């Protein structure tokens, strides 16, 4: 007999969270391990409960959905994250994908679509809502036309390069934290790592290097 898929729901809106929990509880092949209201609780529930799938809102207390996704996958890379949110802007979509999300649905999705998405990502598929899929396909088509030139500063991680790009655009740490759905402390750590790896002594020097390399435009 196939065991039920273990699911964690993370959403700080109690009506939506409770309704989603009720929907999934009616599915015999799904087991809701926990329904939580913040990023920190999502990480604990997913890791401690060995979740197969997490349905993750983006804007929550406790670090938010992007940071929670990154932390979960660092400890349990086999867990599939499906973002379930009201946000459909490019920054949110691609921040979620870079963090490792395997699905991205808007909260307007029908209950049946959400259930199908849970099963699909658990079996290794990627799932996107219709408007999100169009945006993702357009992005990768444009990227193919731009070619495959090497990313600048290979010593940086993708996240550090992303932070450096925003530093080069003149964003302060608080703005970067909001744009990338990270905590202020995490942004400070990334900025410090960039300065160390680039062997520069100040933020201004990092900005100059970033702009010389085509970042921060």
Output the domain CATH number for residue 191: 1.10.10.10
Nearest to residue 9, comparing CAs of 36, 31, 29? 36
Q: What is the predicted pLDDT for the residue at 150?
A: 56
* 136 and 87 in a common domain: yes
- Cα 9 → chain centroid: 15
User: pLDDT-derived band of residue 141, with 50, 70 and 90 as boundaries?
Assistant: low
In a domain, 152, yes or no: no
Residue 82: enclosing H or E segment and its boundaries? strand 80-85
Q: What is the predicted pLDDT for the residue at 146?
A: 47
* 16 and 116 in a common domain: yes
In angstroms, the CA 2 to CA 122 distance is 13
**Residues 6 or more apart from 99 whose CB is under 8 A from it?**
66, 67, 69, 70, 73, 81
In a domain, 148, yes or no: no
User: pLDDT-derived band of residue 94, with 50, 70 and 90 as boundaries?
Assistant: confident
3-state helix, strand, coil in the chain (%, to 5): 55, 15, 35
In a domain, 136, yes or no: yes
Collapsing DSSP to helix, strand or coil, 204 comes out as: helix
- Statement: residue 126 has pLDDT above 50: yes
Average the pLDDT over 95-110 and give the result: 91
- Statement: residue 70 has pLDDT above 70: yes
In angstroms, the CA 112 to CA 119 distance is 11
* 137 and 58 in a common domain: yes
Phi-psi region of 38 (alpha: psi -120 to 50; beta: other; left: phi over 0): beta
* 116 and 44 in a common domain: yes
Q: What is the predicted pLDDT for the residue at 144?
A: 53
- Statement: residue 104 has pLDDT above 80: yes
Residue that is last in its domain, among 142, 176, 202: 142
Edge-to-edge strand order for the sheet containing 103-106? 30-36, 5-10, 53-56, 80-85, 103-106, 127-128
In a domain, 151, yes or no: no
In a domain, 38, yes or no: yes
In a domain, 149, yes or no: no
Task: Write out the residue range of the structural domain in which residue 12 sits.
Answer: 5-142
* 176 and 82 in a common domain: no
* 15 and 120 in a common domain: yes
Q: For the ranges 71-80, 103-112, 198-207, which has the lowest average pLDDT?
A: 198-207
* 92 and 175 in a common domain: no
β-bridge partners, 8: 34, 54
The b/e string for 179-198 (b: 16+ C-beta within 10 A; e otherwise) is bbbbeeebbeebbebbbeeb
In a domain, 70, yes or no: yes
Per the structure, the count of domains in the chain is: 2
In a domain, 217, yes or no: no
* 105 and 69 in a common domain: yes
CB atoms within 10 A of CB 67: 22
Return mean pLDDT, the chain. Answer: 87
* 180 and 84 in a common domain: no
Q: For the ranges 19-23, 105-109, 118-122, 131-135, which has the lowest average pLDDT?
A: 131-135
* 79 and 31 in a common domain: yes
Average the pLDDT over 168-186 and give the result: 88
* 132 and 183 in a common domain: no
In angstroms, the CA 64 to CA 69 distance is 9
Residue that is last in its domain, among 87, 111, 142: 142
């Amino acid at each position: 007999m196939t065991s039920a898929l273990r699911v964690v729901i993370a959403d700080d809106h109690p009506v939506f969270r409770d309704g989603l929990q009720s929907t999934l509880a009616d599915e015999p092949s799904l087991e809701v391990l926990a329904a939580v209201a913040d990023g920190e609780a999502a990480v604990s529930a997913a890791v401690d409960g060995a979740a197969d799938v997490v349905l993750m809102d983006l804007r929550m207390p406790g670090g938010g959905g992007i940071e929670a996704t990154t932390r979960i996958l660092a400890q349990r890379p086999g867990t599939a994250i499906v973002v379930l949110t009201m946000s459909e802007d490019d920054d949110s979509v691609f921040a979620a994908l870079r963090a490792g999300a395997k699905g991205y649905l808007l909260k307007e999705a029908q209950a049946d679509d959400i259930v199908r998405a849970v099963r699909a990502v658990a079996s290794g598929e990627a799932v996107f809502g219709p408007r999100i899929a169009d945006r993702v396909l357009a992005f990768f088509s444009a990227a193919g036309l731009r070619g495959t030139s090497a990313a600048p500063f290979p010593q940086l991680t993708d996240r550090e390069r992303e932070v450096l790009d925003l530093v080069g655009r003149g964003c302060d740490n608080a703005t970067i934290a909001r744009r990338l759905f990270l905590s202020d402390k995490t942004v400070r750590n990334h900025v410090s790592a960039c300065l160390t790896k680039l062997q520069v002594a100040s933020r201004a020097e990092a900005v100059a290097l970033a702009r010389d390399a085509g970042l921060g435009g």
